[in-house]
Structure formats: C-alpha cells, structure tokens
Amino acid sequence: MEQLDLNNPSVLGAIAGVAALILIGIVIGIVRARAKKSGLPEPTPQPEALPEERPKIEIADTAERREEGAEPTQPIQIEDLVSQATAPEPLPTLVPEPTVVPPPAPPADLGAFRSGLKSTRGNLISRLAGVFRKGRELDSSILDEVEEVLITADVGVHTTERILEALRSKMSSGELSSAEDAWEAIREESRTILASSGGGLALRDTPTVILVVGVNGVGKTTTIGKLASRFDRQNKSLLLAAGDTFRAAAVTQLEVWGRRVGCEVVKGKDRADPGSVIFDAIQKAKDDGLDLVIADTAGRLHTKVPLMDELEKLGRTVEKALGRPADHVLLVLDATTGQNAIQQAQLFKDALPVSGIVLTKLDGTAKGGVVLGIVDRHEVPIEFIGVGEKVEDLKAFDTETFVQALFEAPEELESSAEAANAS
C-alpha cells in the first residue's frame, strides 16, 4: 500500500476538504436532533428558481395558416361570453285554464209576458204554426199567408213588409230550410226592430222630471201611480204633480196613490192652469232635494189641435222651471186600439219630444203585434207594458222576453209546459 505524502500540499488540501464535509454533516445531524426535541419545524428546502424567461409559443401568421388549410380564428368578444353565461332560460309556456261561461239566464218575467200576450199569442202562434206546418216546403207562396197573419195581429203594413223582406232574403240565400228556420228569422227581425226598447228610465240631475201624456182613458193616472210605487221600492224620493186640472177624479185618484206610496201630491184649484201646478211641483222638488217629479197631464183627443198645442206650452213651462227640457216624456197608449195607437204616437211626437212609450192593457187584446209597428214607424222605445191591474203588472219592457213570448213555436210551448209540470 502506497503511503500518503503528508508534505505534499495537494494531499493536504484533499484531506482538509474531506474533514470539512464530515464536520458539516456532524453539525447538520446535531441541528436536526435538537429540532425534533424542541418541536421546531425542519428547515424547508427552497424551490429552485424559475427561469427569468418563459418559453415563447410561436403562432404561425394568419396568412401561413390559410396556406396550410387551417380555418381562420375569429376574435372572441367578452360581451358574447357574458351574454351566454347570464342569459336566462326561457320560462315555460303557461296554458290558460279554459274559461267557464255560465249558461244564459232565462228571460225576465217570461211567464208574465206569456200571460199578458195570451190573446195575441192564441191567434198569432196557432195561425203561424198552420203556415209553417211540418213537411211543407218553404217557397215564395208561403209569404202571402205570413203577411195575412202578421197584419191580423196589428203588426202593421209597413212593419209586416219589413219582416217579409227579411224572409225573402234568407230564402233566396238558402238560409231557410225548415219551419224552425222561419220562426227564428221572424224572431231575429223582431229583435232588430225592438233593439232600442227597454233599459229603464235613467234618473238624471236632481230632480228628474217625467211628463206623462196621452189621450183620454188610456190609463195615464194609473200608470203614474204604478211608476211611483216602482220608484218608491227603489228608495227614491219623489212627489206627484196633479197636472190634470180638468178632471176632479184624476186629482183624487192621484192623491190615493200618493198616500199609498207615501209621497206628496202638488195640486191646484179646480180648472187651474196645469202649467202653474207643474211649475210649483218642480220648484218644491228642487227646494226639498227630491229625486224626481212625475207629472200628470189632462187627457186630450189627438185630433184636437188646440189641446195638442197646450202640450207644447207645458213643455216650455217645464224647461223654464227646470232649466232644461223634461228628462222623460212618456206617451201612454192603449194596446186595444191597435193601429190607431200608431197614429196617436205620431201626433204626440209632433207636439212634444216623446222619449218613451208605455203600452197599457196588453193583456186584454189580440193586437199585441202593434208593439212592433209603433217602434218601427216612430223609432221610439217601449219602456213599460201593462199586463194586468196589479201594481206589479206594470212590467219594464225586455226585448228578448217579448219576442220569445210572442213568437214561441208550438213545440217550444209544449217543452216549456212539460218543464213547468216536472218542476
């Protein structure tokens, strides 16, 4: 074995390096042992330093990419990313629940209208049923028979022709193929004629003034009493004006109605000026803050020109006292007079702006068809009909109820009778 030359400087340097390494190892061991005993964390080795420069990624030029066949990239917009991320999901479509439509209510007072039109119905319905008997072909010849039936019921020539024209039109267009179609065509045209009727009397500025006119014996005073009772049931405050100063019985009759209703009656002396009575009544109603005034007037023959001229004077008196024309001018007509009622309506319209018609005694005549004739000729609505003597027998007019009651086919009558018996 070769001996080390301790005198050689190189050998001495190597020995010193080894000794230094051994010494360093001993020191590190001692430090770790103490660290374990004291609970101190061991020294953490430091990570290697990152390179100062990251490797660059070379991106080929757009032109070079096109040459290689690659698809050109589109710039990504931040707004697009946001909208995609935040766009709300569409709400589910809600299917609405089906609306339940209640069946139409039965016409008001149909039974009362049937009873009131009993005489007219007995004549009209039975004869029309004979015309439209089952199995009969509907042709132009049938219209002559329909014409006769309607005129007999006092519908009037003008109005009858209007209904026939409607039937001709539907027959030529092929809309009429059965008796049921013919019945409905007559009802439809009747509804059109009477479309403006009914609806009741609207109360306007306090007080509302209702002027009631008509010829002798039509039932004006009784109608006024029934109207007063109707408004009283509606809790309306009112008074009556006894403008018929030529008939003492009319004043007495009105006073009876006043006591029954519980309202005051303004009257004058015998043969007093009717205009002054109505004027005083309006002034009192204004002072007392009442809802309405119903004024009676003397019956007059529509053929007497001086008496009709007096109505014009009454109209001017009302306007002077009220500051406006009468709110309602009701013409009372007697249904039993038939076509004569149409003539009366024209003459009263010439004297006053008639706004509505009350048709009385409808239950005592077979001429109920005059309702259609009056409205068709004068375009004045029917507001009330009288179908009996009782207070409640003054019925507010209803077009659908009247048409159904007047032009009810026999088979419909049988069905309704069976339903009534079953109930």
Contacts of 316 (CB under 8 A, 6+ apart): none
What per-residue confidence (pLDDT) applies to 300?
A: 74
Between CA 40 and CA 50, with CA 46 as vertex, the angle to 5 degrees is 160
- Phi, psi (deg, nearest 5) at residue 211: -105, 125
Quickly tell me which residue has 């039509």 as its tokens.
Answer: 218
Q: Helices 339-351 and 305-322: crossing angle, nearest 10°? A: 50
**In contact, 332 and 360? CB cutoff 8 Å:** yes
Burial of 184 (0-12, 13-18, 19+ CB in 10 A): middle
**In contact, 228 and 216? CB cutoff 8 Å:** no
pTM more than 0.75: no
Quickly tell me which residue has 């430091």 as its tokens.
Answer: 46
Give the β-pairing of 328-334 and 208-213.
Answer: parallel
Tens of pLDDT along the chain (423 residues)?
A: 455 555 666 656 667 776 777 777 776 776 576 655 555 455 554 544 444 444 444 444 444 444 444 444 455 454 444 445 444 555 555 444 434 333 344 455 788 888 888 888 877 888 888 888 766 777 778 888 999 999 988 899 999 999 999 999 998 898 888 888 888 999 999 999 999 898 778 888 789 999 999 998 899 999 999 999 999 999 999 999 999 888 878 899 999 999 999 999 999 887 788 999 999 999 999 999 999 999 999 887 656 667 778 888 999 999 999 999 999 999 999 999 988 898 889 889 988 999 999 999 998 888 889 999 999 999 999 999 999 889 999 999 999 999 998 888 766 554 544 444 454
Task: Judge if the upstream peptide bond of residue 207 is cis by omega within 30 degrees of 0.
Answer: yes
Burial of 349 (0-12, 13-18, 19+ CB in 10 A): middle
What per-residue confidence (pLDDT) applies to 206?
A: 85
Between CA 190 and CA 336, with CA 156 as vertex, the angle to 5 degrees is 100
Distance of alpha carbon 245 from the chain centroid: 45
**In contact, 329 and 340? CB cutoff 8 Å:** no
CA dihedral for 347, 353, 355, 361, sign (positive or negative): negative
Give the β-pairing of 264-266 and 356-360.
Answer: unpaired
HEC sequence for 236-284: CCEEEECCCCCCHHHHHHHHHHHHHHCCEEECCCCCCCHHHHHHHHHHH
Q: What is the DSSP string of 72-107?
A: PPPPPPHHHHHHHHHPPPPPPPPPPPPP-PPPPPPP
What per-residue confidence (pLDDT) applies to 113?
A: 87
Closest CA to 347 of 383, 311, 296: 311
What per-residue confidence (pLDDT) applies to 207?
A: 94
Radius of gyration, CA atoms only, the chain: 52
- Phi, psi (deg, nearest 5) at residue 70: -75, 150
What gap in Å lies between CA 245 and CA 242, rounded to an integer? 7
What gap in Å lies between CA 55 and CA 102, rounded to an integer? 82
Q: Which two tokens stand for residue 283?
A: 């002034």
What per-residue confidence (pLDDT) applies to 191?
A: 95
What per-residue confidence (pLDDT) applies to 54?
A: 47
